[in-house]
Protein backbone atom coordinates (compact mmCIF):
# COMPACT_ATOMS: atom_id res chain seq x y z
CA UNK A 1 0.00 0.00 0.00
CA UNK A 2 1.48 3.38 -0.93
CA UNK A 3 1.67 6.21 1.51
CA UNK A 4 -1.36 8.46 1.92
CA UNK A 5 -1.69 11.67 -0.08
CA UNK A 6 -2.51 14.12 2.72
CA UNK A 7 -4.10 16.61 0.30
CA UNK A 8 -6.89 14.14 -0.51
CA UNK A 9 -8.03 13.75 3.09
CA UNK A 10 -11.36 15.48 3.58
CA UNK A 11 -12.15 15.15 7.30
CA UNK A 12 -10.60 16.98 10.24
CA UNK A 13 -10.17 13.82 12.34
CA UNK A 14 -9.90 10.14 11.51
CA UNK A 15 -10.46 7.19 13.83
CA UNK A 16 -7.79 4.57 14.37
CA UNK A 17 -9.91 2.09 12.40
CA UNK A 18 -10.09 4.42 9.40
CA UNK A 19 -6.34 4.99 9.52
CA UNK A 20 -5.55 1.31 9.80
CA UNK A 21 -7.67 0.70 6.69
CA UNK A 22 -6.02 3.58 4.79
CA UNK A 23 -2.52 2.32 5.60
CA UNK A 24 -3.38 -1.37 5.39
CA UNK A 25 -1.97 -2.13 8.85
CA UNK A 26 -3.46 -3.27 12.16
CA UNK A 27 -4.72 -0.69 14.64
CA UNK A 28 -2.36 -2.23 17.19
CA UNK A 29 0.61 -1.26 14.98
CA UNK A 30 -0.57 2.38 14.97
CA UNK A 31 -0.84 2.30 18.77
CA UNK A 32 2.65 0.75 18.95
CA UNK A 33 4.09 3.50 16.73
CA UNK A 34 2.35 6.11 18.89
CA UNK A 35 4.12 4.69 21.94
CA UNK A 36 7.51 4.05 20.29
CA UNK A 37 7.77 7.40 18.50
CA UNK A 38 6.31 9.25 21.50
CA UNK A 39 3.72 11.39 19.83
CA UNK A 40 0.56 12.42 21.61
CA UNK A 41 -2.86 12.06 20.03
CA UNK A 42 -4.41 15.48 20.47
CA UNK A 43 -8.04 14.41 20.58
CA UNK A 44 -10.12 11.55 21.90
CA UNK A 45 -13.87 11.18 21.73
CA UNK A 46 -16.19 10.65 24.72
CA UNK A 47 -15.47 6.90 24.71
CA UNK A 48 -11.73 7.54 24.74
CA UNK A 49 -11.14 6.44 21.13
CA UNK A 50 -8.21 8.11 19.37
CA UNK A 51 -9.00 10.73 16.74
CA UNK A 52 -6.05 11.57 14.49
CA UNK A 53 -5.63 15.04 13.00
CA UNK A 54 -3.98 15.73 9.63
CA UNK A 55 -0.74 16.70 11.40
CA UNK A 56 -0.65 13.37 13.24
CA UNK A 57 -1.48 11.49 10.02
CA UNK A 58 1.47 13.21 8.33
CA UNK A 59 3.78 11.91 11.07
CA UNK A 60 2.33 8.39 10.78
CA UNK A 61 2.75 8.66 7.01
CA UNK A 62 6.47 9.45 7.44
CA UNK A 63 6.86 6.54 9.86
CA UNK A 64 5.04 4.22 7.45
CA UNK A 65 7.28 5.31 4.59
CA UNK A 66 10.45 4.71 6.60
CA UNK A 67 9.47 1.41 8.24
CA UNK A 68 7.23 -0.32 5.70
CA UNK A 69 8.40 1.08 2.35
CA UNK A 70 12.09 1.83 2.87
CA UNK A 71 12.72 -1.00 5.34
CA UNK A 72 14.12 0.96 8.29
CA UNK A 73 14.15 -0.59 11.74
CA UNK A 74 12.25 1.23 14.48
CA UNK A 75 15.51 2.66 15.85
CA UNK A 76 16.67 3.64 12.36
CA UNK A 77 13.35 5.37 11.69
CA UNK A 78 13.63 7.28 14.98
CA UNK A 79 17.09 8.52 13.98
CA UNK A 80 15.91 9.41 10.47
CA UNK A 81 12.98 11.41 11.87
CA UNK A 82 15.26 13.25 14.31
CA UNK A 83 17.77 14.09 11.59
CA UNK A 84 14.95 15.28 9.33
CA UNK A 85 13.67 17.55 12.12
CA UNK A 86 17.17 18.99 12.55
CA UNK A 87 17.57 19.54 8.81
CA UNK A 88 14.16 21.24 8.68
CA UNK A 89 15.26 23.66 11.42
CA UNK A 90 18.50 24.43 9.59
CA UNK A 91 16.63 24.80 6.27
CA UNK A 92 14.49 27.53 7.82
CA UNK A 93 17.68 29.62 8.09
CA UNK A 94 18.51 29.17 4.37
CA UNK A 95 17.36 31.40 1.55
CA UNK A 96 14.46 29.99 -0.54
CA UNK A 97 16.69 28.74 -3.38
CA UNK A 98 19.00 26.83 -1.00
CA UNK A 99 15.99 25.42 0.82
CA UNK A 100 14.47 24.19 -2.45
CA UNK A 101 17.77 22.56 -3.46
CA UNK A 102 18.11 20.93 -0.07
CA UNK A 103 14.58 19.51 -0.27
CA UNK A 104 15.32 18.16 -3.74
CA UNK A 105 18.50 16.48 -2.50
CA UNK A 106 16.56 14.78 0.32
CA UNK A 107 13.97 13.48 -2.16
CA UNK A 108 16.65 12.21 -4.52
CA UNK A 109 18.48 10.44 -1.68
CA UNK A 110 15.22 8.77 -0.68
CA UNK A 111 14.67 7.59 -4.26
CA UNK A 112 18.28 6.34 -4.43
CA UNK A 113 17.80 4.39 -1.20
CA UNK A 114 14.59 2.77 -2.50
CA UNK A 115 16.26 1.85 -5.79
CA UNK A 116 19.17 0.26 -3.93
CA UNK A 117 16.68 -1.84 -1.98
CA UNK A 118 15.25 -3.14 -5.27
CA UNK A 119 18.64 -4.47 -6.45
The beta strands (E) that lie in the chain are given as 13-15, 43-44, 50-53
User: What residue ranges do the domains of the chain occupy?
Assistant: 1-69, 73-119
Q: pLDDT tens digits, the chain, 119 residues: what are they?
A: 456 777 778 888 999 999 999 999 999 999 999 999 988 887 888 998 999 998 899 999 999 999 998 899 999 999 998 887 655 544 445 556 666 676 777 778 778 777 877 87
> What pLDDT does 91 receive?
45
Alpha-carbon span 71 to 110, nearest angstrom: 12
- The answer for residues whose C-beta is within 8 angstroms of residue 57's C-beta and 6 or more apart is 4, 6, 9, 14, 19
C-alpha 1/C-alpha 76 separation (Å) is 21
What is the assigned CATH class of domain 1-69?
A: mainly alpha
What's the pLDDT at 42? 78
* Residue 90 confidence (pLDDT): 47
Amino acid sequence: MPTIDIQHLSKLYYSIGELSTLFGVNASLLRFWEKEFQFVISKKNAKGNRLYSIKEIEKINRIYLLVKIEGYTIEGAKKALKSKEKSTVSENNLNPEESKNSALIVKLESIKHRLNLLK
